[in-house]
Amino acid sequence: MTQENTNQNDFGSVLDQQMDGFRSDFEVGERLTGMVTAVDSKSVFVDVNARSEGILDRGQVTDENGELTVQPGDTIDVYFMGGEDDELRLTTRLSGDTPDSSLVDAFQAGIPVEGRVESERTGGYEIRISNQRAFCPYSQIDIFRNDPGAYIGNKFRFQIIEYDDNGRNLVVSRRQLLQKERDAQKARLKEELTEGAVVEGKITKLMPFGAFCDIGGMEGLIPMRELGWGHTEKAEDVVREGDQVTVVVQEMDWDRERIALSLRKAQGDPWDSVAGKYPVGSRLEGSITKLMPFGAFVELEPGVEGLVHVSKLGAGRRINHPKEVVKEGDLVEVSVESVDVERRRLSLSMENTAGIEDAVAGDEGGAPIVLRVGATVNGVVDGIKDFGVFVRLGANQTGLLHISQVNDIQGRDREGALRHRFPPGSTAEVVIKEMKGDRISLALPGDFRGDPDNDTRTGEFMQDSQGENLGSLGDALEGLDL
């Protein structure tokens, strides 16, 4: 074989390889990206990686003054409209003063057109496309519901879905184009999305059970419990429709087209820093979130709760139920007794602490209140028994307002009557009637009636208030000559 034949074969092989790299399977309406190679008086030639260049009408790339908006070497987006004899006909999104005949081609080929939303009208919007008016129904302006006025004055791409009366009756849809884009995005999500992935999304709808979030091609549900680390009763307390959020993909079910998302996990687990923020012995403020027979749960921050055992609620006094001392929503001061990060448990105590919102305040320097007989003071109702009301006078000081010192308590349910008049947690103005050791007897201002020492139930107070047996009826009778 001669050198000349060898060179010809090599050239032919290279040419075949180059030709094999060109596309020939364009679909009408397909969007292409090409490079402008040349311009003449009527046409613009665009390389779209085909065997021949595509031809674009020059009028589609000129401004209102007739000046070209592209030059050779520029990259341009076009749509394939068909071709014969290796002539590829191209078009751009229609705008400006594009001839009306191009709208027919766009309608037949399914090529998007550009239009401006002019105003609202009955049932939808008036759209200006080129020099013609079109109608877009409300249902076709978007996939998700939005404020109707948000579209006025904006330019969008539309699909012509009806072309009647020589173009005088045009109906367009933006939703169809958006749905096509979402279908392509959904296909990519199926290939790329994994559980645990962190993605960006947009809140689209709020429901009683959570919030729907569009992550680009699919809507996922953020269940109520995954909206935040704290107690969430309504989704609108955390997010609003239209909010841009970062979420974590928790679970995917492509067969049922369901995706579960979490907003709180994307914010980080507050328990990761609990050990450093709440060391044993530290005193903190928290809010009572739930009362149980065995104690009260206190939220220190969203997602971090601790338990004050019922034995740690009464400053040494026996408590049968936390409701005798606190109620849900109370702001209280607690101390940390133990931390178990692995089991996500905090043991707290209210012993030697006082409530924050409703505690009896000391002087400006924080010193405890100095009590004396005859002084009128404000205290906090700490508990109710059928024989009287316990009033907290300071961090470690509790007095008893005996029922004998309260007017208008009638009927069999004396405890209920006392509870109604002195709700637990409320402030009560009392007078120091008597002080004997740790025992403090109280009365209402201007209403001293009898001596609570003579009541046989006084012994119960002395046992319950401090957890020690400070006296009883037997002690009172001791020494008497009977």
Digit-coded pLDDT (tens) for 371-408 = 778 888 888 887 788 788 888 886 567 888 888 888 87
Per-residue pLDDT of 306-352, as tens digits, reads: 998 888 886 556 778 888 888 888 888 888 888 888 888 888 988 75
**Residue 147: per-residue pLDDT:** 83
Domain 277-349 superfamily per CATH: Nucleic acid-binding proteins (2.40.50.140)
Beta carbons of 388 and 305 less than 8 angstroms apart: no
Pairing status of strand 427-436 against strand 124-129: unpaired
Tell me if residue 28 falls in helix, strand or coil.
coil
pLDDT of residue 7: 52
Low-confidence ranges of the chain (pLDDT < 70): 1-21, 28-29, 83-86, 93-102, 167, 314-317, 352-370, 394-396, 410-411, 437, 447-482
pLDDT of 390 reads 86
Predicted pLDDT of residue 482: 35
CATH class entry, domain 195-267: mainly beta
What is the pLDDT at residue 151? 92
383 phi and psi, to 5 degrees?
-175, 160
Give the residue extent of every domain in the chain.
27-91, 101-178, 195-267, 277-349, 376-470
Matching CATH number, 101-178, of 2.40.50.140, 2.70.170.10, 3.40.50.1000, 1.20.1250.20: 2.40.50.140
What is the DSSP secondary structure assignment for residue 178, as one 8-state letter?
Answer: H
Measured between its terminal Cα atoms, the distance across the chain in Å is 145
Contacts of 218 (CB under 8 A, 6+ apart): 182, 185, 186, 189, 257, 259
Of 118, 126, 74, 115, the residue nearest 93 (C-alpha): 115
Distinct helix (H) and strand (E) counts, the chain:
7, 25
CA–CA gap between residue 442 and residue 391 (Å, rounded): 9
pLDDT value of position 1: 54
Query: What are the helix (H) ranges across 319-472?
Result: 414-421, 458-466
| Helix/strand/coil (H/E/C) assignment for every residue in 189-256 | HHHHCCCCCEEEEEEEEEECCEEEEECCCCEEEEEHHHCCCCCCCCHHHCCCCCCEEEEEEEEEECCC
| Residues facing residue 301 across a β-bridge | 304
Identify the CATH number of the domain defined by range 27-91: 2.40.50.140
| Predicted local distance difference test score (pLDDT) of residue 262 | 92
Q: Give residue 4's pLDDT.
A: 54
Q: Do domains 195-267 and 277-349 have the same CATH topology?
A: yes
As its CATH architecture, domain 376-470 has: Beta Barrel (2.40)
pTM of the model: 0.46
